[in-house]
Structure 1
Amino acid sequence: MLSKDEKNLSQVIDKISKMEEPRRSVVRRVHDIIVTAAPTLKPRIWYGMPAYAKSASTPALVTLRNDERLNLAITEKPAFRPAGGVDGALMPAAWYFETVDEHTEKRIAEIVRSVVD
């Protein structure tokens, strides 16, 4: 019998597998980056999207959207920090992408780790 976490992971993998290429491969790569960067986060479906939470019963902290553009977003649940620098008091919460290169992969990992810490 599968645990709740295993069922949730299966649902996320299934959701990703139903996406059309090349997005399916990109989202799968981002999923792998997220679970590697923050292995304590639990994949689950959140409002129909792949998402990642501290447990199967807590709100999602990070979501992956496959709309007109691919989007990595921080939900309203984690504490936000002002960006500083040229962005001053703005608090980044979403990033759009079409592909994932080495620099983007590192940035996604940083973003995900900042939500967990």
Structure 2
Amino acid sequence: MSTTTTDGFSAAERAAMKERAAEMRAEGRKGAKKADGLQAVLDRIAQMEPEDRVLAERVHVAITTAAPELAPKTWYGMPAYTNADGKIVVFFQDAGKFNYRYSTVGFQDTANLDDGDLWPVAYALKAWSPAVEKKVIELVRAAIS
């Protein structure tokens, strides 16, 4: 991964912005369907490094099982899940995306996770376990409540 360039964006950040622009063009075309979003998510997961792919697959299953009303799509090249209004609720960022040491499950402001004046909206994810699965499902169910 290249470091920050003179305009302030790394090569990985530039690539993510280009992915988002392509996603927006695809969303704008006539006939785009929920199935297109699902296929884009599955294709993106298949491109991940093996360790990230395993986590992404488990996160995908947990989200789609706990909240089948959320629609899958890619967002800045990451698997994401939207509400009926088409707004991102939850996303998965693989560690390889920006060369991080852990993957992330994150929530956008449409998620109902508010807890007073301060609450977490992103969670580092290094390994999958029954406890992690339970927590992700609880968070997703709270986010859509």
Q: Secondary structure at the match of 2:136?
A: helix
Return the alpha-carbon distance in structure 1 between the equivalents of residues 65 and 83 of structure 2.
Answer: 14
Q: Residue in 1 aligned with 2:110?
A: 77
Deviation per CA, 1:44-94, whole angstroms, max 9, x where unpaired? 111221000114x611110100131200001122344216xxxxx421101
Q: Secondary structure at the match of 2:50?
A: coil
Alignment of 1:28-107 (within 5 A): 28-55=57-84, 58-67=86-95, 68=100, 69-82=102-115, 89-107=117-135
Return the alpha-carbon distance in structure 1 between the equivalents of residues 68 and 107 of structure 2.
Answer: 17
More displaced stretch, 38-47 vs 72-81 = 72-81
* Identity %, equivalent residues: 31
Structure 1 gap segments, 5+ residues each: 84-88
Q: Residue in 2 aligned with 1:86?
A: none
The one-letter code sitting in structure 2 at the alignment partner of 1:53 is T
Q: Secondary structure at the match of 2:127?
A: coil
Return the alpha-carbon distance in structure 1 between the equivalents of residues 111 and 55 of structure 2.
Answer: 25
Q: CA deviation at 1:116?
A: 0.7
Q: Which has the larger radius of gyration?
A: 2
Structure 2 gap segments, 5+ residues each: 1-30
The one-letter code sitting in structure 1 at the alignment partner of 2:115 is P
Return the alpha-carbon distance in structure 2 between the equivalents of residues 114 and 80 of structure 1.
Answer: 6
The one-letter code sitting in structure 2 at the alignment partner of 1:78 is A
Aligned residues: 110
Return the alpha-carbon distance in structure 2 between the equivalents of residues 114 and 100 of structure 1.
Answer: 20
The one-letter code sitting in structure 1 at the alignment partner of 2:110 is K
Q: Runs in 1 of length 4+ with deviation above 6 angstroms?
A: none
RMSD: 1.7
**TM-score, normalised to structure 1's length?**
0.86
Return the alpha-carbon distance in structure 1 between the equivalents of residues 59 and 71 of structure 2.
Answer: 14
Which structure shows the bigger proportion of residues in helix conformation? Answer: 2
Q: Residue in 2 aligned with 1:7?
A: 36
